[in-house]
Structure 1
Amino acid sequence: MPQLMATAVEVNPSGTAVVYADAAGAIGSLSYAELDDRSTRLARLLIDRGIGPEDLVAVGIPRSIDSVVAVWAVAKTGAGFVPVDPNYPADRVEHMVKDSGAVLGLTVQRVHDELPGQVPWLSVDGDELARRLEQYPAEPVTYADRLRQLRAEHPAYVIYTSGSTGLPKGVVVTQAGLSSFCDEQRERYRVTNTSRTLHFASPSFDASVLELLLALGGS
């Protein structure tokens, strides 16, 4: 996944990567280069906190620019992300965080207090964190920067089943095959760098990752 992101930035650095309108109607956007910059700084902070390949990081952020930045940042460390929808029932969220073995969580201030306390949560939109991120360079994270070697069999993300027949179970999706999946989506849906993908699925639904990967395959 980190290589797919790096390629998307290289191919279309000035292209629009994500557009978001908040509840008040204010519209924000990031180019691929800006998304790369922000996520790299956050990735370097996570690496300093000991996050790397084979670790899992919960991402408890509603769909937004912040949620995309967080997913990119976790991927760049080589760790896997566990998408957590803060709107889910509290006991389900608690189960996903605990059962996954996530060692850290990323969130935003407005939902921070609603999330379970099994892991420490960093609010990516906090002023204190923003000041800390300014101290990190935006140069691409290299293999040498990561705490451990990233391998194809390492987790890219963990998605939990609906739990309709019992307790939700985590499904580990490895790094292997993501490139082929992006290629298949680009061909099947005829995605180009002028296409727009609507990110509408719940963060905890597997289709949410498909939507994010569409924006990589067509950059």
Structure 2
Amino acid sequence: MNVVSSDFFAKNLQFIEGLSSEASYSALQETGPSDLQYKDGSYIICKEDRDLALHSRQSPQDQAQRQIKRWIMQHSTALENLTVIFGCAGFYHVREFLKESYGSSYLLIVDNHPAHVRTLLENQDLSDLYSKGKICFIINANPRACVFEYSELIKTIPSINISFYVQPAIYRIYQENYDLLMDLFTKATKIEGMNRGTAASFSDEWLQNSLINLAYML
């Protein structure tokens, strides 16, 4: 029998509150029923009368470790900057990203299924993540509200060399949803890059350097 701990939820919600916007915090408090269930130690999506596991039933953390190491190798990613993780999916892959990241790296966890996140917060203790100081959350059922928060966030970071990751199992189940999110976030990142380029082109420092070097360019 699975036991839902209200203590887990209260403690985890307090953690989320300090690492997310007021909108994300409210989304978790006000969310409705979830099609994500916790059964015998596994997180299961109940969809079209089928139980779809989000991870290995035997060794989910080992599976997450293999997936993240393979992803890092395939993308030649050093995890030095911001990595956007779409979907919580048990937090196993989040833990692996934290092990692999270093320096000024940061993880942004984005989930537009607030009810899923609430189920996770009710069924596990996330205290091992509390002290890392490298996580923030965007949680909102509206994908465009998620991308609005993201657009505001990336204005505050020095580098927009940003990586996107979505856990394989949850992507297979909700492919259309995550394709939309990744498309919106990719476009927002490009817009921020163009805005920074425009600002640099018209800055006093840029103009001064251009005038100094004009003789060498002609």
Tell me the TM-score normalised to structure 1 length: 0.36
Please identify the structure whose Cα radius of gyration is greater. Answer: 2
> As a proportion of its length, which structure holds more helix?
2
Tell me the TM-score normalised to structure 2 length: 0.36
